[in-house]
Structure 1
């Protein structure tokens, strides 16, 4: 499989998605966590390992941040009760996990903004899930194929915290792009309870199928699953696969992104909106539409009560599965426009 890395400057000269079909090839631009675009043949079966081997149970890193250690992480290993007991982890506090996407990872690049938002909001245990050794490959297909393995390890970690005394009702997981799909994989694999909430932040679309819910984010992966869809049908998964599914600005062409040919700006905005929503000052009110066709037609006919995107805590009660919500945002911070 041939991979060509583009900077955004170069990629912006090319329309996306690029669906060049030549024999069995299907080339599309896919973003990594750092804003670089890669031209990937998503039909290729050539998954030859081009990076160091990755074993999730060994290589996924869990970093704990609390108000007592907001910037210096404490490393916690699965089933290490002594390590957890000697940390600032508190079973009485809400616990949040944040998962990065392709080519993300590391202390500074693993959800720092969301981590800080929670810590500023209150007493939270915030874990960043660093699978950088698995995601840090030029081979998108290889990274995608590691999603279930990483999700299994995260599920084991949630079970471990539950054994230690943390109720599943205090566990929330959010993930951006491939990280959103990892969150779903984790929710499917816990054995001691059901994760309370999952938020897919423009969960990755390439190589994930609506017809294969066992291998993508699904509304049954937690008691409440929310999706925030900002680059629908290109880099993000287009369909409403959660309990509540939010399409800011129709899910495409985000204000402030200009001519976002690659989709990277819009794709990243989902995380930005989630960060802002955690601050109670910012309310992202959204109206309920009849379904995805309303979003595609850009004609939302109100069909139920309004709801807010994101926030802390997330909206109480899942509502009806697959419900679709529309909202507009500002082009710069503050993005929220208040209740609807």
Structure 2
């Protein structure tokens, strides 16, 4: 008879068919395994035994090198240790081709099998508690450059890792389309949020279906709107699963992409739904190479097939030259920009049925979410739209005409630098 502590703890589990609820277990847990890959064992995984102390662990006798950055990858529901069935080991290959890393996979597949989603959600606590023990051993070895990457339900596990760490805060967590079912009403202690690490970046690809719509990190990137992904249609294609797993495909490509995934800021998802977040010259990169200081909500467009990255839209040949920056007065607008999107056919306009009205001489968005600074002499070599510097209006009354509701410059600051606001339908905050 097996009388080990793990076996005794397993007797408290609740088991219904193939589904198992881990109750009162301690770490290390035999159902949660860790495998490491480095450039010394690219193809042959090495099992890590992590215990309560460094002496009882085999970390120091493994291929682990504390001088190299560590990537901890956590899979989701109904998967093996790799993040996505469609990408079995490519994440490992991309990282090790890029540089020297300690690539550690957390395998908690025994506690997250299909069709046991409810029990898998419960078991994220156990997976997180034991993975926190792994992080503690890494820190004891002198390794603090730790980046946790989780997909779907695995993106909720880092929350419990952070809650179980005593004297160390994770430097970075990346959530790839964090799971939504059973996390809609969860509190901050039970879901991924910005307090879990110094920097939390999130990619949304299947929001409101399998992934969350609300913002989960310091910066949230909504890929192609964050709900459905291009190319995920047609016969024999599960559109939801395809869109959900695109998060791993996008992030994988971002590791060594020559173009990169670049997005523009948007104040809230409500503004995006109203079409009030057109592409701007303020672009920031998503994925592995995201800057740690990035904050806010960003929108990114992609190709429908690999390679998905489009690069910077400002690098397109037709957009690579600046327009002359000449001072222009704000024109009178005969069409409200918001009504332009609500009533695209103009049936609510006063000039419908050919009634005379003031002629529209410019585009609705012109001078509405942008401004015309005074003329500044430029060098002939300065031809990149991304290098344009913002300057103030020549006259203060222009600001009042531009946005009479609140301070325009505070609004623009929130638009470009982003605000941390989990209410996706909230209006921009102006301090």
Return the TM-score normalized by structure 1.
Answer: 0.79
Higher RCO (CA < 8 A, seq sep 6+): 1
133-142 or 103-112, which deviates more: 103-112
Matches of 2:213 and 2:233 in 1, distance apart? 21
Residue by residue, what CA displacement relative to the aligned partner does 1:3-22 show, whole Å, maximum 9, x if unpaired?
xxxxxxxxxxxxxxxxxxxx
Matches of 2:128 and 2:228 in 1, distance apart? 31
Which residues in structure 2 correspond to 1:264-303 (within 5 Å)? 264-301=241-278
Deviation at 1:77, TM superposition (A): 1.5
Q: Does the 8 Å CA contact 2:50/2:59 hold for their aligned counterparts?
A: no
2:325 alignment counterpart: none
Cα 1:145–1:126, aligned 2, differ >3 Å: closer, same or farther?
same
1:27 alignment counterpart: none
Residue 162 of structure 1 aligns to a residue whose secondary structure is helix
Matches of 2:15 and 2:272 in 1, distance apart? 39
134-143 or 216-225, which deviates more: 134-143
1:147 alignment counterpart: 124
Residue by residue, what CA displacement relative to the aligned partner does 1:146-180 show, whole Å, maximum 9, x if unpaired?
1111111111110111112112xx00001110000
Residue 144 of structure 1 aligns to a residue whose secondary structure is helix
1:317 aligns with 2:293: yes
Q: Does the 8 Å CA contact 1:289/1:304 hold for their aligned counterparts?
A: no
Q: Which has the higher strand share?
A: 1
Cα 1:324–1:210, aligned 2, differ >3 Å: closer, same or farther?
farther
Cα 1:203–1:128, aligned 2, differ >3 Å: closer, same or farther?
same
Q: Does the 8 Å CA contact 2:46/2:62 hold for their aligned counterparts?
A: yes
Deviation at 1:187, TM superposition (A): 2.3
1:188 aligns with 2:198: no
Gapped regions of structure 2 (runs ≥ 5): 1-13, 314-431
Residue 146 of structure 1 aligns to a residue whose secondary structure is helix
1:63 alignment counterpart: 35
Runs of 4+ in 1 over 6 A off after TM superposition: none
1:51 alignment counterpart: 18
Gapped regions of structure 1 (runs ≥ 5): 1-46
Residue 225 of structure 1 aligns to a residue whose secondary structure is strand
1:8 alignment counterpart: none
Root mean square deviation, CA, Å: 2.3
1:97 alignment counterpart: 72
Which residues in structure 2 correspond to 1:318-337 (within 5 Å)? 318-319=294-295, 323-337=296-310
Matches of 2:130 and 2:276 in 1, distance apart? 42
Matches of 1:210 and 1:282 in 2, distance apart? 38
Deviation at 1:93, TM superposition (A): 0.6
1:120 aligns with 2:109: no
Q: Does the 8 Å CA contact 1:184/1:198 hold for their aligned counterparts?
A: no
Cα 1:202–1:121, aligned 2, differ >3 Å: closer, same or farther?
same
Number of residue pairs aligned between Structure 1 and Structure 2: 288
Matches of 1:271 and 1:104 in 2, distance apart? 13
Q: Does the 8 Å CA contact 2:128/2:157 hold for their aligned counterparts?
A: yes
Matches of 2:299 and 2:88 in 1, distance apart? 25
Which protein has the larger Cα radius of gyration, Structure 1 or Structure 2? 2
1:72 aligns with 2:26: no
Matches of 2:266 and 2:19 in 1, distance apart? 46
Q: Does the 8 Å CA contact 1:151/1:183 hold for their aligned counterparts?
A: yes
